[in-house]
Amino acid sequence: DTGVSQDPRHKITKRGQNVTFRCDPISEHNRLYWYRQTLGQGPEFLTYFQNEAQLEKSRLLSDRFSAERPKGSFSTLEIQRTEQGDSAMYLCASSQPQREYTGELFFGEGSRLTVL
């Protein structure tokens, strides 16, 4: 399978614990995005990388959220001191700059976080 891969698919944690999600993009894609989706809403942009550079992180929801892409390949999204309001689906997507821009992103299946 050469699509975007996310791990774990489902994480259940207690409030106050830290969680980390991993995303492996499509191998030739140099852009990687994190989105969050809550029930009944569309995906909400959090942050994105071009290679290892984090080009925008102002939309990260609080300073408890951080993301890395140390070698420009896989990425991790960490949430520290989780709160019940962090319960959501965390989606990763990747893209490759194209000669003709289409805006298309390729999404993974998501990592569902449940905070008890």
Partner 1 sequence: DQQVKQNSPSLSVQEGRISILNCDYTNSMFDYFLWYKKYPAEGPTFLISISSIKDKNEDGRFTVFLNKSAKHLSLHIVPSQPGDSAVYFCAASEETSGSRLTFGEGTQLTVNP
| AA identity, residue 91 | L
* In contact, 47 and 35? CB cutoff 8 Å: no
* In contact, 44 and 35? CB cutoff 8 Å: yes
64 binds partner 1 (CB under 8 A): no
Stretch that binds partner 1, among 11-19, 42-50, 63-71, 80-88 (CB under 8 A): 42-50
Q: What is residue 104's DSSP assignment?
A: -
Stretch that binds partner 1, among 11-19, 45-53, 64-72, 78-86 (CB under 8 A): 45-53
Stretch that binds partner 1, among 14-22, 39-47, 65-73, 74-82 (CB under 8 A): 39-47
- Cβ nearer to partner 1, comparing 82 with 95: 95
Task: Please count the residues of this chain forming the interface with partner 1, following the rule CB under 8 A.
Answer: 26
Q: Which of 14, 28, 42, 99 binds partner 1 (CB under 8 A)?
A: 42
User: In three state form, how does the secondary structure of 20-89 look?
Assistant: EEEEECCCCCCEEEEEEECCCCCCEEEEEEECCEEEECCCCCCCCEEEECCCCCCEEEEECCCCHHHCEE
Q: Which residues bind partner 1 (CB under 8 A)?
A: 4, 31, 33, 40-45, 48, 50, 55-56, 91, 93, 95, 101-110
